């Protein structure tokens, strides 16, 4: 019996549905995945708060609403190949694994990647592959992707990620300066890399993407 089930239901009502998230599959995935098991035991009672939380290495697990907003924007129906940049705690990865066919996730901090691998294996998310490295370059061998999500903020949209997006695919990414950014949804409309529809999903604050298309540490 999951003693946090009620807290998860309340989180969905007050933080996620109340702010306009309607995708039934996203809501179901967030009802299913035990967010409290993806964070340090010492913070377990804050797991369903309306805020990000520290996960070590100066990184954070994103606020539940932001996870919902980004995931809904990816428009996953179940057959997609998804690329995630910034595995972090593995929570967003688990949500993606519930909603898509295959998830490829890149994390630059090896300790976070191995911790995530353990928890994802514990819940039998065998449709997830995790790589340690700089996600700015994407994952060329596994491209194209139907959806790409970047959970760290970049100054601009990394060119490699647009190249690795399938025609019709969605890329959700925060871009801006180091302190404050805008969350964007890009849809690739044709083979032409400039033929992109760009939608503003609102203001946000993410940790920095560190690497080739991001900032220096």
- Which is closer to ligand SAM, CB of 191 or CB of 213? 213
CB of 109 to ligand SAM, least distance (A): 4
- Residue position matching structure tokens 């994802």: 120
- Given the complex with ligand SAM, which of 130 and 186 has the nearer CB atom? 130
What is the SS3 assignment for 59? strand
User: What's the half-sphere exposure (Cβ side, CA atoms, 13 Å) at 69?
Assistant: 23
Q: Which of 62, 89, 208, 213 is catalytic?
A: 62
In whole angstroms, the minimum distance from the beta carbon of 112 to ligand SAM comes to: 5
Angstrom distance (rounded) from CA 165 to CA 174: 16
Task: Give the nearer residue to ligand SAM in terms of CB position, either 169 or 211.
Answer: 211
Q: Which is nearer to ligand SAM, 178 or 197 (CB)?
A: 178
User: CA dihedral defined by 105, 113, 90, 4, rounded to 10 degrees?
Assistant: 170
Minimal distance in Å, beta carbon 191 to ligand SAM? 26
Total residues found in the chain within this entry: 217
Q: Which residues pair with 56 in a beta bridge?
A: 59
| Closer residue to ligand SAM, CB minimum distance, 84 or 191 | 84
- In angstroms, what is the minimal distance from the CB of 190 to ligand SAM? 28
CA distances from residue 8 to 35, 42, 119, 217 in whole angstroms, order as listed: 8, 18, 19, 35
Is 116 considered catalytic here? no
Who's near 173: CB < 8 A, 6+ residues apart?
Answer: 148, 149, 150, 154, 157, 161, 183, 184, 186
Applying CB under 6 A, the residues found at the interface with ligand SAM are: 55, 59-62, 85-86, 88-89, 91-92, 106-109, 112, 134-136, 151-152, 206-207, 209-211, 214
Pair type for strands 145-150 and 196-204: unpaired
DSSP state, 12? Answer: I
Q: How far is the CB of 147 from ligand SAM (least distance, A)?
A: 14
Residues acting as catalytic residues: 62
């Amino acid at each position: 019996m999951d003693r946090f089930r009620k807290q998860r239901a309340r989180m969905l009502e007050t933080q996620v549905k109340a702010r306009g998230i309607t995708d039934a599959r996203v809501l179901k995935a967030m009802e299913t995945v035990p967010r409290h098991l993806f964070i340090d035991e010492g913070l377990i009672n804050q797991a369903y708060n309306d805020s990000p939380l520290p996960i070590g290495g100066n990184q954070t697990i994103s606020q539940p609403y932001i996870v919902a907003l980004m995931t809904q924007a990816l428009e996953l129906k179940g057959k997609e190949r998804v690329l995630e940049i910034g595995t972090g705690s593995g929570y967003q990865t688990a949500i993606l694994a519930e909603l898509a066919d295959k998830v490829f996730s890149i994390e630059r901090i090896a300790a976070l990647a191995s911790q995530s691998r353990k928890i994802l294996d514990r819940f039998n998310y065998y449709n997830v592959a995790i790589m340690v490295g700089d996600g700015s370059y994407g994952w060329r061998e596994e491209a194209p992707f139907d959806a790409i999500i970047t959970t760290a903020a970049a100054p601009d949209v990394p060119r490699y990620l647009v190249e690795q997006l399938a025609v019709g695919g969605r890329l959700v990414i925060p871009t801006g300066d180091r302190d404050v950014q805008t969350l964007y949804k890009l849809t690739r409309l044709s083979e032409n890399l400039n033929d992109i529809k760009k939608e503003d999903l609102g203001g946000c604050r993410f940790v920095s993407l560190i690497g080739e298309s991001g900032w220096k540490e």
